[in-house]
Structure 1
Amino acid sequence: MADFQSLIINLLKKNSKGLSFNSIRKRLRVKGGQVKALQRDLKGLVDQGLVYKDGSRYVAVSSETEKGYFQKFAGGFGFLLREGKEDIFIPPHATMGAMDGDYVLAVIVREREGKKPEGRIIKILKRAEKSYSGTIRKQGKRYVIVPDDKALPSELNIAKAKKEGLKLKDGLKVVFKVKEDKAYIEEIVGFEDDPTVDYKLVVAKFKLKEEFPKKVLDEIERVEIADRREDLRDDYIITIDPRDAKDFDDAISVKKEGNLYLLGVHIADVSAYVMEDSRLDKEAMSRGCSTYLIDKVIPMLPHQLSSDLCSLKPGEDRYTMSVFMWIDKEGNVVKRRFAKSIINSKARLSYEDAQRIIDGQELEKDSVSIFVGNSFEYIREFLLLARELAWILRERRERRGSLDFDLP
């Protein structure tokens, strides 16, 4: 700790109700040029969350003081979230203006059996870097923002609108941040009656990246796959997915070997294209996941990978990771093997078409299923064997006590 910080902490711990700055100065006998150093070190303790200010008094953090993230709700109340402990209830009058996601320091003021501890926030240690969405409304000669998030006030004044040359109009949807109870507009998205505005709001609010940098895309063109792989391109392997699926990341194969079923599960091998610490890897890490919206997908990986090279399209050579499982008639896996492989899917089926084929029905005219070469001739036999194995595995799960949720 800095020069005065240890002395300040020890002094405040002996005075649990706290002391004013002048009292601290006098008791530590600080004079002249040392006063500024005392102020600096006291501020440093406050910034570190080791001391908090209660009115004019400085108080040392005690065992009854907790740090954590604040989760705020529409009624103005919230909870301090604690790792491995019960959350602390913070009533509306005790939030100290904290916003949802802020990292705060709180003191426990009441503990009652059968109820959550009650506390009050005494310092906001770090503001959440959070963006909100809302609608601009005109009230007389001024404009305000009505937030979409009900945990915020019902309306917020707009800061720096004229200074930044923002052209405000009633009904505009905006993305903004909140500082000191004022809204700072980050982006004007469009009018509330625009059918595409919801998508644009999500993209702007969560800082989603729709495009990939050119250097990332160029890296895909330079990928060379030189590792040895088990060649399964002549095996009867298919994909079964929802009717509207755009990419196919897993495939199956199944056949009998004596009294055993040989089940193969083949997963698209993204690691064949994405090298560790490459630009592709870092870009994917920064995105975290693919974002699925109502009618659009913002992928974690470029479309060249997610919808093409790493999609197990019928009739196309694709790199996969395969696991082979030998399963007996009781559903026990008696043997297993893993391999890096290359496959060529013989069919793309929808769930509906798979069921029609099992039931011996013809496919409908608007079927999305695709069959390579003469693969349709063998599909029903394949599906019936797959269903037979599925029943065995389901019965084994039920014997082991699995739960069956009857969902709509």
Structure 2
Amino acid sequence: MKEKNKEILEEKRTMLEDFISREEYKPLRFKEFVGFLQVPRGEKNNLKELLDQFIKEGKLILDQQGRYRIPGDNIKVGTFAGTQRNFGFVILEGEEQDIFIPENATKGALHGDKVMVAINEEQTGKRKEGTILDIMERGKTELVGTFEKSKNFGFVRPDNPKFGRDIFIAKEHTMGAVGGHKVVVKLTKFGDGTQNPEGKVIEILGHVNDPGVDIMSIIREHDLPVEFPEEVMRFLNQIPEEIDPGEMKGRLDIRKLQTVTIDGEDAKDLDDAITLSKEGEIYHLGVHIADVSHYVKEGSVLDKEALKRGTSVYLVDRVIPMLPHKLSNGICSLNAGTDRLALSCFMDINSKGEVVSHRIAETVVQVDERMTYTSVAKIVEDHDEEECRKYEALVPMFYEMLELSQILK
């Protein structure tokens, strides 16, 4: 049934697009659309929703007379970038030059808002200037800032200076915040060119001088997801902590190759390893990446969450991971002395640095040593006797790595 409704909606959308793209199309009011398209009474709301969607997409604009117009060449849709001085710019996707928006032409747009802008025909300088016609979609509804208290009300100075304006907080919406508190504010009114936005405090992060508050402010300002959803954590229960022998079937077993990871001292998610040997003038280089895709199947809740996060975020005192620690620090981490599944690229490189052959394979690896940049540097640069004795079996490979790195520079 849902699929059928979706098909009907797409048909109506196509019909409406065809209608407004005709050369003879002239701006119409909503009632005129209903008449021209002979829309039944019960489907008027559907038509209104489609027209609203076209406005959001920049295909139509609603003028002051209530007519739906096709945007002209001087009408663009973009993202508003604010400044401390209350003027701004509209960033247009795919275009190099931004549109300058004077303070009196912003229509109350805030940093990050999706806006419709009319580019002025007469330009006073080299940069194009424009006027905001409509705020199509708000970029943010919550902000982080510093609370300041006055006698009968409060206000919040946003951490991001591009928001330009302070947020007015009525006395009953301060949540007990005092001057100097870092707070999260939910915007209730967005203001306009003359009035400041209004909001209410929904979370107090702590005083600006409290340890850790600065980091939490960054996390909340950028909407970084600290915790994983419950459905993701439940999905993790299906993933084993050690690989099953059956999972090795059909994979190239390279556990006997001398293999190392090289990372920083504090690294915990060791997701790549290398092997290297030399035969005559040919270097046999292997790069092995933990096979996360074996456990994170495309379309799974974990895959969708990782896609949403995009990357791990490294802050001063913590890491906000793309994948839960059970994966990134566990079965998908190439820890020394444990069997792990990997995707490997084997390259044969000659003395000129040319890759003469290569192949990619699904593999089973076992890392011999978890090395650090410091330890390897002590061996190949400082020739540290103690470090060389400690990793005696690996020293020849490290010098071959040094040779190859110099060839590849």
TM-score for both structures, normalised by structure 2: 0.78
Structure 1 residue 167: Cα displacement: 2.1
Q: Measured at CA, do residues 263 and 46 of structure 1 come closer, stay the same or move farther in structure 2, by a change above 3 Å?
A: closer
**From 210, 230, 249, the counterpart of 1:194:** 210
- Cα distance in 2 for partners of 1:347, 1:41 equals 65
Which residue of structure 2 aligns with residue 406 of structure 1? none
Q: Measured at CA, do residues 238 and 11 of structure 1 come closer, stay the same or move farther in structure 2, by a change above 3 Å?
A: closer
Partner amino acid, structure 2, of 1:175: V
Q: Quick check: which has more Rg, 1 or 2?
A: 1
- Cα distance in 2 for partners of 1:323, 1:46 equals 51
**From 96, 99, 116, the counterpart of 2:110:** 99
- Report the 3-state secondary structure (helix = DSSP H, G, I; strand = E; otherwise coil) of the residue aligned with 1:219: coil
Structure 1 residue 375: Cα displacement: 7.9
**From 171, 176, 180, the counterpart of 2:185:** 176
Q: Measured at CA, do residues 48 and 186 of structure 1 come closer, stay the same or move farther in structure 2, by a change above 3 Å?
A: farther
- Cα distance in 2 for partners of 1:208, 1:308 equals 23
Partner amino acid, structure 2, of 1:156: I
Q: Measured at CA, do residues 267 and 239 of structure 1 come closer, stay the same or move farther in structure 2, by a change above 3 Å?
A: same
Q: Measured at CA, do residues 303 and 44 of structure 1 come closer, stay the same or move farther in structure 2, by a change above 3 Å?
A: closer
- Report the 3-state secondary structure (helix = DSSP H, G, I; strand = E; otherwise coil) of the residue aligned with 1:220: coil
Q: Measured at CA, do residues 338 and 81 of structure 1 come closer, stay the same or move farther in structure 2, by a change above 3 Å?
A: same
- Cα distance in 1 for partners of 2:302, 2:66 equals 53
1:228-252 deviation digits (Å, cap 9, x = unpaired): 2111111101111122222211111
- Identity over aligned residues, as a percent? 37
Which residue of structure 1 aligns with residue 274 of structure 2? 252
Q: Measured at CA, do residues 265 and 111 of structure 1 come closer, stay the same or move farther in structure 2, by a change above 3 Å?
A: farther
Which residue of structure 2 aligns with residue 67 of structure 1? 77
Structure 1 residue 332: Cα displacement: 0.8
Structure 2 residue 171 is the aligned partner of structure 1 residue 149:
no
- Whether contact under 8 Å (1:250, 1:267) holds in the other structure is yes
Which residue of structure 1 aligns with residue 93 of structure 2? 83
Which residue of structure 2 aligns with residue 32 of structure 1? none
Structure 1 residue 12: Cα displacement: 5.1
- Whether contact under 8 Å (1:292, 1:298) holds in the other structure is yes
Which residue of structure 1 aligns with residue 251 of structure 2? 229
- Cα distance in 2 for partners of 1:349, 1:114 equals 58
Q: Measured at CA, do residues 231 and 57 of structure 1 come closer, stay the same or move farther in structure 2, by a change above 3 Å?
A: closer
1:29-52 deviation digits (Å, cap 9, x = unpaired): xxxxxxxxx9x9999868743334
1:202-241 deviation digits (Å, cap 9, x = unpaired): 3333333333323133132498636521111111011111
Structure 1 residue 297: Cα displacement: 0.4
Partner amino acid, structure 1, of 2:175: L
Partner amino acid, structure 1, of 2:179: D
Q: Measured at CA, do residues 105 and 238 of structure 1 come closer, stay the same or move farther in structure 2, by a change above 3 Å?
A: same
Q: Measured at CA, do residues 42 and 316 of structure 1 come closer, stay the same or move farther in structure 2, by a change above 3 Å?
A: closer
Structure 2 residue 237 is the aligned partner of structure 1 residue 218:
yes
- Whether contact under 8 Å (1:357, 1:363) holds in the other structure is no
- Whether contact under 8 Å (2:157, 2:165) holds in the other structure is yes
State how 1:8-407 maps to structure 2 within 5 Å: 48-49=54-55, 50-53=60-63, 60=69, 61-85=71-95, 86-110=97-121, 112=123, 115-158=126-169, 162=172, 166-178=175-187, 179-180=189-190, 181-212=197-228, 213=230, 214-221=233-240, 225=247, 227-358=249-380, 359-363=382-386, 376-394=391-409
**When the two structures are aligned, how many residues end up with a matched partner?**
362
Structure 1 residue 349: Cα displacement: 1.6
- Cα distance in 2 for partners of 1:171, 1:357 equals 51
- Cα distance in 2 for partners of 1:10, 1:275 equals 49
- Whether contact under 8 Å (2:85, 2:164) holds in the other structure is no
Structure 1 residue 116: Cα displacement: 2.3
